[in-house]
Amino acid sequence: MIQDVVWSVSIILMGALAVVFMWVATGASVAIANYGPVIDTAYRARVWLFGLALVVLIGANYKTLGELPYINTLPKLPAAAVQPTQVVAEQWLWTITPSTFKVGQTAEFQVTSKDVNHGFALYDPEFRIVAEVQAMPGYTNVLRYTFKEPGTYQVLCLEYCGVAHHAMQTEIKVTE
């Protein structure tokens, strides 16, 4: 899952940065007499680091911006290929119609709210998030998702909406 990749990459990079800081900190008490050449080398290294950072930045953004979740960026599908699904949020319940799907079926959740901001978060049967979108009064946000495995999916609210925010949950059934 994306979350696992993000966690692994983040902790490696964070750890690497921490090691660099620790290395400099532990060696700080030893003074070098001629600082000039060291700083020149460091600034040359920074140019290379800047180049590397730019390559990573451009590559990562090119890759990730190619697949956006926004409906206006997704290919149009024939009407028969999607299941329009109404999602109405209000303090503190979800009304989802329909709420049963088949594996492989693509739902287009048309998400709105009657009162305040809510967050529609779809949790798979292993209780990990697979898709999110905000529910806002006055707006209908369209989220497309294709169910990949059978089971009971949970919908949780992930935008704080008041005292029963944590209890604003419902289920979606997905069958073979």
Partner 1 sequence: MTMAVTAGRTGRTAISPRAAVLAYLAVAGVVFLLMMLLGLTMRLAQAQWIDVPPNFFYVVMTMHGAGMVGIAGLSSAAVMWHFVRRHDPVSTAVFLTNLVFFLIGAVLILGAGFIGGFGAAWTFLFPLPAHSGGLWSVNAAASYLIGLIFIGVGFLLLHLDIARGILSKYHGLGAALGVKQAFGLAPAEAGPPPAVTASTMALIANILGIVVGAAVLVISLVNLYVPSFTFNTLAAKNLIYYFGHTFINVTIYMAVIAVYEILPVYSHRKWKTNWAFYLAWVLSTVFVLTVYTHHLLMDFAMPTWTLVAGQVISWLSGLPVLLVTAFGTLTVVYRSGLRWNPAAALVFLGVAGWAIGVIPAIADGTIAVNSVMHNTQWVPGHFHTYLLLGMVAMVLGFMTYLTNPQPRYGFAWLGYWLYLVGGVIFVIAFLLAGAASVPRRYAVHVAQWLPYDRIGSIGAALAIAGVLILVVRFFVGMRTAVLAEDPIG
Residues 28-57 that bind partner 1 (CB under 8 A): 28-32, 35, 38-39, 42, 46, 49-50, 53, 57
Choose which of 6, 77, 81, 103 interacts with partner 1 (CB under 8 A). Answer: 6
**Does residue 92 have a cis bond before it (omega within 30 degrees)?**
yes
Q: How far is the CB of 107 from partner 1 (least distance, A)?
A: 15
Ramachandran assignment for 25, one of left (phi > 0), alpha (psi -120 to 50 degrees), beta (any other): alpha
Question: Among residues 115, 148, 152, 171, which is the contact residue for partner 1, using CB under 8 A?
Answer: 115
Torsions phi, psi for 85 (to 5 deg): -130, 120
Q: Interface with partner 1 by CB under 8 A: which range of 77-85, 100-108, 119-127?
A: 119-127
Q: Which stretch binds partner 1 (CB under 8 A): 80-88, 98-106, 125-133?
A: 125-133
Taking CA atoms, 60 is separated from 7, 47, 49, 56, 64, in Å, by 16, 20, 16, 6, 6
User: Is 11 a residue that touches partner 1 (CB under 8 A)?
Assistant: yes
80 sits near partner 1 (criterion: CB under 8 A): no
Q: Are 123 and 153 in contact (CB under 8 A)?
A: yes
Nearer to partner 1, 96 or 133 (CB): 133
Asked if residue 98 has a cis previous peptide bond (ω within 30° of 0), the answer is: yes
Minimal distance in Å, beta carbon 96 to partner 1?
Answer: 17
Looking at the Cβ atoms of 114 and 173, the one nearer to partner 1 is 114
Cα separation of 68 and 76, whole Å?
A: 14
Smallest distance from partner 1 to CB 24, Å:
5
Using CB under 8 A as the binding rule, whether residue 68 contacts partner 1 is answered as yes
- Considering only residues 129 to 168 of the shown chain, the ones binding partner 1 according to CB under 8 A are 129-134, 136-143, 156, 158-167
Cα Rg of the chain (Å, integer):
24
Collapse the DSSP code of 110 into the 3-class scheme (helix H, G, I; strand E, B; otherwise coil) and give the result. Answer: strand
